[in-house]
Structures are given as structure tokens and as C-alpha cells.
Amino acid sequence: MYLTDNAGEIVLDRLLIEHLPQDKVTVAVKGAPVINDATMVDAEVAGITSLVTVIDNGSDAPGTILDDCSGVFRRHFAEADLIIAKGQGNYETLREVPAPLYFLLRVKCPVLARDLDCPIGRMVLRPASSLPHPAGELNPIMPAKTSASGNTNQGDRS
């Protein structure tokens, strides 16, 4: 399952989706417009609907709040062998969900930089199972790790 993020990025998502086993991929878009997130219309314009199964999540909330999503979406989510969740909103709303999740996002703020132990601006692809902090410990006031030399360790993982 591939959870989209921004409408403008969906054209680039197609390039990645074209390299996945298309008979096994379900792409999920928002159920209604919210901020700049991709909807079914965006998936159609990008040509994704002609490649793979595309569903909407039944929600207009930022990120993916499972309790707010449709039963069809939740069934696909629960049955997925692998879920690629794009964007900060999906990271923030799904990071504690026990599922075979990989997060794909650009780190845009100090809170995420600390949580993911990498610098602002870094593109990140991480399995949920490898997050540096156990689920539930996303803490915006947590200080960055500091080395003995006093340099902030922003990590090198991607």
C-alpha cells in the first residue's frame, strides 16, 4: 500500500509506483481536499489510476487517522504486506501504529530532526521498526544528543 502526500508530488510518486509490482499495489489518496494533499482527481491526472488500484481513505484529516478512515481503507491497510507512508502528516499520525510501515519524508522541523536523529532538510526512508525512540516518545522538548566535543549529533542515517 502506498499512502500519498501532496498533490504536486503525486506525479513523482507515479515514477516510483511504476517500478513496484503493479498488480500488488494499492495507492491511497485523501477522501476530500485537505491542505494540499492528493485526492482521486490528482491520481487520475497523474495517470496512476490507469496503473494500479487507487482508493481514497474516506477522510479529510491531515495525515492518516485510522479511526477517521473508511472501512474499505482500513481493510486494505490491515491486509497490506508493506505500507509506504509519505509525508510528515502520515509520520505523525501513524508512527505508533503496529503495521509494516516505512515512512518516506523530508525532515522539515527541529522536532522531527531530533526524533529521527538527522538534520533538517534530509530525505528519510525509515521502517517504523527502526525509529530511534520507542513509540509514544515523540517529545518536542527533548534535547538533541550532544557529543563530548559539544557538537550536536544530528545523525547520519537516511
pLDDT tens by residue, 49-101:
999 999 999 999 999 999 999 999 999 999 999 999 999 999 999 999 999 99
Tell me if 22 is assigned to some domain.
yes
Residue 47 lies in a domain: yes
- Structure confidence at residue 150 as a pLDDT band (50, 70, 90): very low
Q: 53-56 and 101-106: which strand pairing? A: unpaired
Compute the distance between CA of residue 49 and CA of residue 139 in angstroms, rounded to an integer: 38
Chain centroid to Cα 54, Å, comes to: 16
Residue 140 counted as domain residue:
no
For residue 143, is it within any domain?
A: no
Q: For CA atoms 136, 138, 142, 143, give the dihedral sign.
A: positive
How remote is the C-alpha of 102 from its chain's centroid?
Answer: 7
Mean pLDDT within 9-28: 96
Q: Is 148 contained in some domain?
A: no
Q: What's the pLDDT score for residue 132?
A: 59
Helix extents (H) in the chain: 10-17, 40-45, 71-79, 88-94, 110-116
Assess if residue 70 is contained within a domain.
yes
Looking at the domain assignment, is residue 142 inside a domain?
Answer: no
- Comparing CA positions, the residue from 88, 26, 30 lying closest to residue 59 is 30
Instruction: Give Dmax (Cα) for the chain.
Output: 55
pLDDT of residue 100: 96
For the chain, how many structural domains are there in total? Answer: 1
Residue 148 reports pLDDT greater than 80: no
Residue 12 has pLDDT above 60, yes or no: yes
Query: pLDDT by residue (tens digit) across 106-135?
Result: 999 999 999 999 999 999 999 998 875 444
Q: Whole domain around residue 88: which residue ranges? A: 2-130
CATH number at residue 102: 3.40.50.10880
Q: Which residue has the higher pLDDT, 138 or 113?
A: 113
φ, ψ of residue 79 to 5 degrees: the values are -90, -5
Mean per-residue pLDDT, 33-54: 96
